[in-house]
Amino acid sequence: MTHGADPAPVPADTPPSGDGAAPWWRRGLVYQVYIRSFADANGDGTGDVNGLRSKLPYLRDLGVDALWINPWYKSPLADGGYDVADYRAIESRYGDLADAEALITEAHDHGIRIIADVVPNHSSVEHAWFSEAVASAPGSPARARYHIRDGRGPGGTLPPTNWQSVFGGPAWHRLPDGQWYLHLFAPEQPDLNWTNPEVQSEFEAVLRFWLDRHIDGFRVDVAHGLVKDPAYPDLDNATTRMLASSKLPNHAHWDRDGIHEIVRRWRAVLDGYDGDRMMVAEAWVSPERLPLYLRPDEYHQSFNFDLLEASWDAGEMHDIIDSATKAAANVGSTPTWVLSNHDVMRATTRYGLPNGTDWRSWPATGPHEVLDVARGARRARAAALLLLALPGSAYIYQGEELGLPEAWDLPESVLDDPVWERSGHTMRGRDGCRVPLPWSPGGPSNGFGSDAGWLPQPAGWDRLSAEAQTGDPTSSLELFRSAIALRRVHGAVDEQLDWITADDSTLAFRRGSGLTCVVNYGPEPVPLPEHGEILLASGPQAGADRLAPDTAVWLR
């Protein structure tokens, strides 16, 4: 196979290389903060806003353009804060509104923008609207803000449809008076009814509330789930797999056309503010449908999860990058790349599983003997150089820069993800990628806070702490620091990508600045390009002019 010379088209409105006029998000590097596990300033075992404030110099020095902060709103944390009780208040375990406002100001002083997480598909059962709905009669306006319906069968004892919750089990829960409410996620997360004008205007007001507080953008949760088929049909193939089912055409509750009308109204709200305010969609949809979310009057960005889902294969990577780059350019946008987040197994562990293993179906027992730890670490480092060399924007997840592995052997007694209970203890869920960060060796949580964190860190995380890695040229942290600094000079100056002919196992492309990225996906060393000074390598080479397996290199 040759990967052909087929440069991606550059949209007409793309400013010339290096002129600095492109909106920041087109090429930005965004660092995702899972606030509960980032840094704990008050020693209660839970990360908080003031902990994050204390680490702003670290993030500035790392070179990130923006932070995306996972939900920080008042919440019973039934799903890590994606169950919001009050969209205008900060969860008391994380701080208060004054702390959040101080964070936004201080981040801006460091040249870092802040993206908040908006959760419009569902609220918490502790939201005032849901309490009102439960206390009100069937058919009342309070119930019309949610999807609350009569059941089927004698006495309405069966759920209204066969829809399944993403976390396992039926997607309907029965109220004491016999009606059922829809929850595509946990029962603590009732789905809001987006045909209801009150729901629509409330969320526009919530966006304004945060935009008035100088938030630079929003990550929109379950962006492909807001609209449901009003006929509430049964699904032919009801499944809990959000990704698989959201790629089916004309699905009853994923990726429905009505979503785009809502997005356009949000976009008009953002466009009314100064600065480059932006929205990024979490939309698990097919590559053909994704560009619809990126039309000029809709989202600025939508995460591309295909790279994260791909196997370790040069051809697959090439096709994903090529089609995503072209599809984004066709609607005037740039791709938004992701290898890790708070919902998926950490890359260092994922790449250590045997090729072809479905990491999502990883059972309640850990990977044990099948895991190749060294290969996982090598590939995660190579993948990071690929990610940071691609045109468009990149999102990295806290701890990715430290090369943290998945904490797959957390004691069952501490598991907190609703997936664990909902799957009848067959799936451990996502806690393994949400363990508090190690900042410095020693103490009860390696510098996360003055006490143990809400999830325990595995043994050996002292050596993975930011302090322990600093100054070690072989460390993951120093690799990220160097790559991000080089990306600012070479990678993010334009949106050009030209494929270089390569063999079956190699991916190679050149950026407009002359930066060349080569990744060896095969089992054997491959020759390096004849000309070019090596700027950065993810691991040792196999001799002076050969690139070792599972290794990436940047050349100029």
Minimum gap (Å) between residue 71 Cβ and ligand NOJ: 8
> What's the rounded Cα separation, in Å, for the pair 545 and 503?
16
Our finding on whether 69 is near ligand NOJ (CB under 6 A) is no
Write the secondary structure of 489-537 as one string of H (helix), E (strand) and C (coil).
HHHCCCCCEEECCCCCCEEEEEECCCCEEEEECCCCCEECCCCCCEEEE
Considering 221, 255, 400, 550, which one is annotated as catalytic? 221
Question: In terms of CB distance, is 24 or 254 closer to ligand NOJ?
Answer: 254
Among the listed residues 181, 185, 299, 499, the single contact to ligand NOJ using CB under 6 A? 185
> What's the rounded Cα separation, in Å, for the pair 96 and 161?
40
Q: Tokens for 40?
A: 């704990």
Site map (CB under 6 A) of ligand NOJ, residues 276-295, x = contact? ------x-------------
H helices of 110-252, in order, are 128-135, 197-211, 242-246
- DSSP states of 397-447: ETTTTTTPPP-TT--GGG---HHHHHTTTS---SGGG-PPPP-SSSTTTTT
Residue 248, helix vs strand vs coil: coil
Strand 278-281's sheet: what is its strand order? 301-302, 278-281, 217-220, 113-118, 66-69, 29-33, 393-397, 336-338
Question: In terms of CB distance, is 65 or 343 closer to ligand NOJ?
Answer: 343
Q: Tokens for 510?
A: 């050149």
Tell how strand 113-118 and strand 66-69 pair up: parallel
User: By the 8 A CB rule, do 488 and 508 touch?
Assistant: no
Among the listed residues 65, 191, 322, 343, the single contact to ligand NOJ using CB under 6 A? 343
Considering 99, 282, 401, 416, which one is annotated as catalytic? 282
Read off the amino acid at residue 518: V
Minimum gap (Å) between residue 439 Cβ and ligand NOJ: 24
Minimum gap (Å) between residue 93 Cβ and ligand NOJ: 17
Minimum gap (Å) between residue 220 Cβ and ligand NOJ: 10
Question: In terms of CB distance, is 255 or 282 closer to ligand NOJ?
Answer: 282
Site map (CB under 6 A) of ligand NOJ, residues 111-130, x = contact? --------x-----------
What interhelical angle do 197-211 and 259-271 show, nearest 10? 30
DSSP letter at 158 equals B
Q: How many residues bind ligand NOJ (CB under 6 A)?
A: 9
Minimum gap (Å) between residue 119 Cβ and ligand NOJ: 6
Q: What is the largest CA-CA distance in the chain?
A: 77
Element (H, E) at 375: helix 373-389
Question: In terms of CB distance, is 300 or 342 closer to ligand NOJ?
Answer: 342
Question: In terms of CB distance, is 46 or 475 closer to ligand NOJ?
Answer: 46
Minimum gap (Å) between residue 154 Cβ and ligand NOJ: 33
Q: Tokens for 488?
A: 């600012």
Our finding on whether 305 is near ligand NOJ (CB under 6 A) is no
Question: In terms of CB distance, is 79 or 550 closer to ligand NOJ?
Answer: 79
Minimum gap (Å) between residue 166 Cβ and ligand NOJ: 7
| 282 is known as an active-site residue | yes
Site for ligand NOJ in 215-244 (CB under 6 A): 221-222
Q: Using DSSP, how many helices (H) and how many strands (E) does the chain show? A: 15, 20
Q: Tokens for 92?
A: 């008391």
Nearest partner of 489 among 515, 457, 452, judged by Cα: 515
Question: In terms of CB distance, is 48 or 117 closer to ligand NOJ?
Answer: 117
Minimum gap (Å) between residue 282 Cβ and ligand NOJ: 6
Site for ligand NOJ in 415-454 (CB under 6 A): none
Our finding on whether 82 is near ligand NOJ (CB under 6 A) is yes
> What's the rounded Cα separation, in Å, for the pair 51 and 39?
5
- Spacing of C-alpha 367 from chain mean position: 23
Minimum gap (Å) between residue 455 Cβ and ligand NOJ: 15
Question: In terms of CB distance, is 259 or 548 closer to ligand NOJ?
Answer: 259
Residue at shortest CB range from ligand NOJ: 82
DSSP letter at 203 equals H
Among the listed residues 79, 188, 191, 494, the single contact to ligand NOJ using CB under 6 A? 79
Question: In terms of CB distance, is 93 or 381 closer to ligand NOJ?
Answer: 93
Catalytic residue IDs: 221, 282
Where along the sequence are the contacts to ligand NOJ (CB under 6 A)?
79, 82, 119, 185, 221-222, 282, 342-343
